Structure 1
């Protein structure tokens, strides 16, 4: 028995074709929205791609962009096909095209679902990419004269100012890297030389942060150096220290930013997938109903439409039955008897008497 089988009159087939023509044009708009969402996400990722390790999550917007373009093209053609399917005579010109159209619609509908799921499942990959990317950006913050890295100082400063964050996980991350270039250090100063010799790897490490970590909400001028020694600053306690620098790490700030965008896009794409699934179901009913009309030979008769053909359903059921019965077959792995293997030869020599 066919799955989802139902009967369509001639008027119902014509009405279904007209509705699908309209829904395909709405799907073209949905494809444009999908393309726009992918383009928006790609631009947002490229804004801060310098602080990400590797390509980041660009494969997600690229998939949304390509799927949106495919949806526009396929549904544009589908609108013309569905409109012609209202007439059995005009259906003949699309008879060989309709099945590939259904397959293409199924493929890009599956891609839409995949894009929605990736928007929700990309969080761990994004977090790892930001963790490594921010570590490298902070490490190369001082290399303003090195080609390929000279832009990182501006990028990190703009990131910390715009997202009101500091460091990777917090402002103390700056204590573990040398973010001041040697060209701005006084090598004739004994304190500078001693600090370079005492630190691991000869780095100039100190409990200080860049200016972009300072919060304008602080009631006092920004304190950037000797942050762990409260005695070096008058009236500088734990509370004023929290107000002086941004308390949130940039990795968490960017994660919240991108997570909000991805959840919104994922929800929108999921709605688009449900709509495309409705269109795909309608097109499948129209295709099978019109093919049944051709088999009947009379366009005025009622015809049957279905989702899956009965032969396919029966084949699946038989295969499942074979797998189920095969597990419980007592004759499995039982060696054949001698009577089954030994066949007497027609040219056997008779025994001598």
Structure 2
């Protein structure tokens, strides 16, 4: 779609102005190369942050986001490098002819990058939902599945949490294998035909507490010497779901989503600057003096030839 002349955003640039614009664009493209590398790093970071906990992520596969970010980063690295090559000698006809195609590629890349940033924000709720159902499943299979047990212990130790909402969640689940428990204790803690003691796994122990960890009979004060669970509990009291929400929500994915969107906005700016430089150069060439003033435009339209400050004509 071509905009009529009167609606175009027009900038008159002389050779010196085009040189300054090219220098700015080279600087931005150099930054773009670094941000493209950061996109690939972001994809790897998201993948590595989630990978250790796949056992407690219910039907979640975030690999596609990592692949999207990695692919966009590789594309951005290629396009920005090519644009720097063209800008270093922008008056060279063989190089300047590529400006149009490169700027279109950058616009497409920027649009896809913006979509990837939005996906990062959308992933926050998806990850939280997967962890909520996955943690519940892991707790229920803690005594029967070694992989689930190991993953749940890893989550609780890394995020310094216990249970889903709090450590009491373990009291409502038959997570202890009765083969390793005294029969008298089993009979005292049977509830609805299931062994549900006031115990929590060792991974709930808080290492910052000086007292040896009490993770069995947590609410049975008489079972321990000089102990009151209401005052000096030795385990993590925060639930894992809240800790994970804080990490992936306001933390990792939110920051990364904002970073990716900022990269997309910068690429839109680079594309607009490249378009202005390219059309200004074409305008000057059509005027018969490639070092003279030329009119740069952003949106698709006919190249305008600069005649005077009050006279703009179509080429």
Fold conserved (TM > 0.5)? yes
RMSD between superposed Cα atoms in Å: 2.8
Q: 1:11-61, CA deviations, whole angstroms, 9 ceiling, x for partnerless residues?
A: 323443344334323321221122222212221121223222223544433
Q: How many residues align?
A: 296
**In structure 2, what is the equivalent of residue 253 of structure 1?**
243
| Alpha carbons of structure 1 residues 17 and 225: separation in structure 2 relative to 1, 3 Å | closer
User: C-alpha displacement at 1:295, in angstroms?
Assistant: 3.6
User: C-alpha displacement at 1:306, in angstroms?
Assistant: 0.8
Q: Quick check: 2:218–2:229 contact (8 Å CA) kept in 1?
A: no
**In structure 2, what is the equivalent of residue 53 of structure 1?**
58
Aligned pairs for 1:122-161 (under 5 A) are 122-143=123-144, 149-161=145-157
> Are 1:67 and 2:58 an aligned pair?
no
> Are 1:205 and 2:210 an aligned pair?
no
> Are 1:9 and 2:37 an aligned pair?
no
Q: When the two structures are superposed, what TM-score results if normalisation uses the length of structure 2?
A: 0.81
User: C-alpha displacement at 1:66, in angstroms?
Assistant: 1.8
| Alpha carbons of structure 1 residues 194 and 17: separation in structure 2 relative to 1, 3 Å | closer
Relative to its length, the structure with more strand (as a share) is: 2
For 1:270 and 1:15, how far apart are their aligned partners in 2? 27
Q: Quick check: 2:143–2:149 contact (8 Å CA) kept in 1?
A: yes
Q: List gaps (5 residues or longer) in structure 1.
A: 144-148, 312-353
| Alpha carbons of structure 1 residues 21 and 221: separation in structure 2 relative to 1, 3 Å | closer
For 1:304 and 1:263, how far apart are their aligned partners in 2? 41
Q: Quick check: 2:219–2:229 contact (8 Å CA) kept in 1?
A: no
Q: Which region of structure 1 is more displaced relative to structure 2, 231-240 or 42-51?
A: 231-240
Q: List gaps (5 residues or longer) in structure 2.
A: 1-5, 303-315
Aligned counterpart for 2:279 among listed residues 277, 284, 288? 288
**In structure 1, what is the equivalent of residue 167 of structure 2?**
171
For 1:25 and 1:231, how far apart are their aligned partners in 2? 67
Structure 1 runs of 4+ aligned residues shifted over 6 Å read: 193-196
For 2:224 and 2:15, how far apart are their aligned partners in 1? 88
User: Which structure has the larger Rg?
Assistant: 1
**In structure 2, what is the equivalent of residue 44 of structure 1?**
49
SS in 1 for 2:295: strand
